[in-house]
Amino acid sequence: GSSNSSGRGALVVLEGLDRSGKSSQCARLLSFLQGKGHRAEGWRFPDRGTSVGQMISAYLANESQLDDRTIHLLFSANRWEKRGLMESKLLSGTTLVVDRYSYSGVAFSAAKGLDIEWCKAPEVGLLAPDLVIYLDVQPEKAAERGGYGGERYERIEFQQKVAEHYHSLRDPTWKVVDGSLPMETVEDQLRELATDCIQECNGKPLTNLAW
């Protein structure tokens, strides 16, 4: 039986550099939660399935050029267009395990030199995560892991800057997990963090991101 059938679902966000293991860990966490009887879905941003998402995808593939602020706002718009659906899923008791969210939006754009407060502004009012897990992997280690896919941003010098901005965004509520540990160890830590979070947010209202 589902232990969260009466309450709302949890908004669980995984953040980290490219090749930090986020996507694999999201998939593992999702099947664990579902196996425990939780209603849970895996989400990711950018969501490349919408028309905004297709513009983002073309930009990341270097098939189009966009001004830095323009692409920043598209990433944000891609979250705004999903906000209503996220809210209704959460309120109906579905936990969302989300691969990247607003913190990626701010860290990646700020790494290009955009003002960080300007970067945060369009994120205000999106749903606030109940849990942010940062998979901490050194940029050098991430780059060694089977190489990058060749998308824009997948360069070590840039990832180093992104890491610095993630660092300055971190607040005490973030759970930093050492992503260089064995996959199963990381997986165990994520299971515990997510399970606790789902229990704790039962009865707590959904809130908005305010920074």
Point out which span in 103-111, 129-137, 169-177, 183-191 binds ligand FDM (CB under 6 A): 103-111
Burial class (CB in 10 A: 0-12, 13-18, 19+), 13: buried
129 binds ligand FDM (CB under 6 A): no
| Cα–Cα distance for residue pair 197/193, rounded to 1 Å | 6
**166 is a site residue for ligand FDM (CB under 6 A):** no
**In terms of CB distance, is 8 or 19 closer to ligand FDM?**
19
**Joined tokens for residue 208:** 């908005």
Q: How many residues does the chain have?
A: 211
DSSP strand pairing (40-44 vs 175-178): unpaired
If we measure between CA atoms, which residue out of 120, 130, 54 comes closest to residue 86?
130
Considering the rule CB under 6 A, would residue 15 count as an interface residue with ligand FDM?
A: no
Least separation, in Å, of the C-beta of 57 and ligand FDM?
Answer: 8
Distance CA 90, CA 192 (A): 20
Minimum distance from residue 126 beta carbon to ligand FDM (Å): 11
Tell me the two tokens of residue 68.
């830095």
104 binds ligand FDM (CB under 6 A): yes
The option from ligand FDM, Mg ion, none interacting with 103 (CB < 5 to 8 A, set by class) reads none
Under the binding rule (CB under 6 A), the answer on residue 59 touching ligand FDM is no
Site membership for Mg ion, residue 18 (CB under 5 A): yes
The CB-of-93 to ligand FDM minimum distance in angstroms stands at: 25
Helix axes 102-110, 68-91, angle to 10 degrees: 170
Q: What residue ranges bind ligand FDM (CB under 6 A)?
A: 18, 45-46, 60, 75, 100, 104-105, 108, 153
